[in-house]
Structure 1
Amino acid sequence: MAPKNFVKHLRLHAVEISGEAVGTFLFLLMALSAAQVANSDTSHAGDDIHPGDINLTQLLYISLAFGFSLAVNVSIFARVSGGLFNPAVTLGMILVGKLTWIKGIFLTGGQILGGVVASAVVKGIFPGTYVVQTKLGHDATVAQGLLIETFLTMQLMLAIYFMAVEKHEGNALAALVIGFALFVAELPGIYYTGGSLNPARTFGPDLITLDFGAAHWIYWVGPFLGATLAAVFYKFIKFLQAEAAENSDDTERQPLLS
């Protein structure tokens, strides 16, 4: 590669990594700030609601904050770095060939950095007990927590595939739909696992507090499994669509329901 092209590629990668770091920082800064406010009158850590109770207002407030913060920041950073903000989403993009492994690793580093800085800022600027860690709660077992994180992340990843990766007239609504996908996933997730769906979201607060619980690993494995399942399903659908196109005289495929 010519030196001029090398410098150009280096600058481009620096922009993308910076975009992921700053975008993840802003996404989690807004979301974790809302979680801190909502949980400020509780004595336990996490996005969990009071044990034994379902505080629907609190749950809805946190879910909306995460969903809208993601939608806003995806809109801002989509053209800068892709607006991934999540190592699991980065893996999902790698698995469908939208990112190389090397690039994905660097973007993941930016996301982790952004999550750590956001967590530190929230801890530093808000008074009171730090209450934004994700923990298993309300009698959820490790296995249940793992499955919850897996399937909720799968939902988020599928929204990204079909609204952002696929090219169609609905792409203009991609950021909003992706934000809503996180919102609906947070509604059940917060109560039992804290609704992470994102290793960067969990790792940051745990690092800042130096409190890595025994179940910390599920917040990595669950989202990565969810992204992998979504990638398998997406590639399966693309395979079926390609087969249908080859075997049909009608080049314009129609959906089953019209």
Structure 2
Amino acid sequence: MAERAGGANGNHGGVAVHIKDGLPPPPPRTSQEGSGCFVTVPFLQKLIAEVLGTYFLIFAGCAAVVVNSDENKVVTFPGIAIVWGLVVMVMVYSVGHISGAHFNPAVTIAFASCKRFPWKEVPAYVSAQVLGSTLASGTLRLIFSGKQDHFAGTLPSGSDVQSLVLEFIITFYLMFVISGVATDNRAIGELAGLAVGSTVLLNVMFAGPISGASMNPARSLGPAIVSSHYRGLWIYMVGPISGAIAGAWVYNIIRFTDKPLREITKSASFLKSSGRNGSA
């Protein structure tokens, strides 16, 4: 759940070779020159990382929900919250240096709104995240079929407005933390995964019984698509996206720095070590 700028592995783009009329090929194009026309291998790697990261995130979190519903609450509600927090932390550390570990359309859109992520890559990232969530939900549907089939999506337990406001607040909180650890070089980048995972755990603990604590449109959309259960889905589209955008912008407003504006607006890596590999 972090921003990503350029190639996180230090490989920023592919090389397009054109041979025409016997003329020598032009010099290789950089990613900034050719990224608008070509889908590069590094970008495909980032999309695969987003698909896999979102898949394992949704699979583990929703599996905890399903198993808890089917096996006499053996996981318990605090256990579900811990699973969500741990899987976020693990996946951030696993692929954060590759794709930025967004796993969340709201995070991707929020970073793009602050010019910390290219808008042209947003549709591909969001599609990858929704695909990963849908595949994970489908896998769970196949594994836990029949009497074990329980809807693992998010539903408001109270009024729609109550859940909408709660989703806005908790996603604001999550994005505020992400912005702090992902875009501010003064933060301890190595602890970013722990900070984000802990925030998810906290949010699920108090918001889960009310709204389901989605904080992620893909988390709600995947199970809804697989189960054809769309009641209240708009809440988990509007609340998290608007909350994430607000959280990112508020952190940018309160950010204090002596650096000139051009330095502030430069993208920072999610992990400090990523910056050393060329992603910042």
- Shared fold (TM-score greater than 0.5)? yes
Query: Aligned runs of 1:51-90 on 2, under 5 Å?
Result: 58-90=76-108
For this pair of structures, how many residues does the alignment match? Answer: 228
Q: Which residue in 2 is equivalent to 1:131?
A: 151
Q: Give the residue type in structure 2 aligned to 1:23.
A: G
Q: With the length of structure 1 as denominator, give the TM-score of the two structures.
A: 0.82
2:16 partner amino acid: P
Could you list the runs of 4 or more consecutive aligned residues of structure 1 that deviate by over 3 angstroms after TM superposition? 4-9
Q: Supply the AA of the counterpart residue of 1:77.
A: V
**Aligned mate of 2:173, from 146, 151, 155:** 155
Instruction: Indicate if the aligned counterparts of 1:40 and 1:131 stay in contact, CA closer than 8 A.
Output: no
Tell me which residue corresponds to 1:28. Answer: 58
Q: Which is further off, 165-174 or 25-34?
A: 165-174
8 Å Cα contact 1:198/1:223 also seen in 2? yes
- Aligned mates of 2:99, 2:15 — CA distance in 1: 24
Range 227-236 or range 67-76, more displaced:
227-236
- 1:193 Cα deviation after fit: 1.0
Contact 1:25 1:117 in 2 (8 A): yes
Q: How does 1:165-180 map to 2 (within 5 A)?
A: 165-168=183-186, 170-180=188-198
Structure-1 separation of matches of 2:187 and 2:168: 29
Structure 1 position 231 matched with structure 2 position 248: yes
Bigger fraction of residues in helix: 1
Structure 1 unmatched ranges of 5 or more: 43-54, 247-258
Partner of 1:182: 200
* Whole-angstrom CA distance in 1 between matches of 2:225 and 2:194: 30
1:3 and 2:33 correspond: no
1:15 equivalenced with 2:45 (yes/no): yes
Taking the aligned partners of 1:87 and 1:154, their CA distance within structure 2 comes to 14
**Is 1:164 aligned to 2:177, yes or no?**
no
Is contact 1:150–1:225 with CA below 8 Å preserved after alignment?
Answer: yes
Instruction: Structure 2: give runs of 5+ residues left out of the alignment.
Output: 1-13, 18-28, 261-280
Q: For residues 153 and 139 of structure 2, what CA distance do their matches in structure 1 show?
A: 14
d(CA) in 1 for partners of 2:110, 2:187: 23
Instruction: Return the offset for 1:245.
Output: 6.7
8 Å contact kept, 2:151–2:223: no
Residues 38, 61 of structure 1: 8 Å contact kept: no
Aligned counterparts of 1:206 and 1:112: Cα–Cα separation in 2: 11
Deviation (angstroms), 1:169 = 5.2
Hey, what's the Cα distance between the residues in 2 that align with 1:23 and 1:169? 24
Of residues 203, 212, 231 in structure 2, which corresponds to 1:194? Answer: 212
Q: CA RMSD in A?
A: 2.2
Deviation at 1:58? 2.1
Deviation at 1:164, TM superposition (A): 1.9
DSSP 3-state at the match of 1:72: helix
- Distance in 1 between the 2:197 and 2:240 partners? 17
SS in 1 for 2:154: coil
Equivalence for 1:142: 160
State yes or no: 1:101 paired with 2:119: yes
Helix, strand or coil at the partner of 2:185: coil
Is the Cα contact below 8 Å between 1:28 and 1:115 reproduced in 2? yes
- For 1:102 and 1:181, locate their aligned partners in 2 and report how far apart those are by CA, in whole Å: 29
1:222-243 per-position Cα deviation (integer Å, ceiling 9, x unaligned):
00111111122012113xx25x
Amino acid at match of 2:161: A
Paired residue for 2:234, among 212, 217, 221? 217
Structure 1 CA distance for aligned equivalents of residues 63 and 152 of structure 2: 8
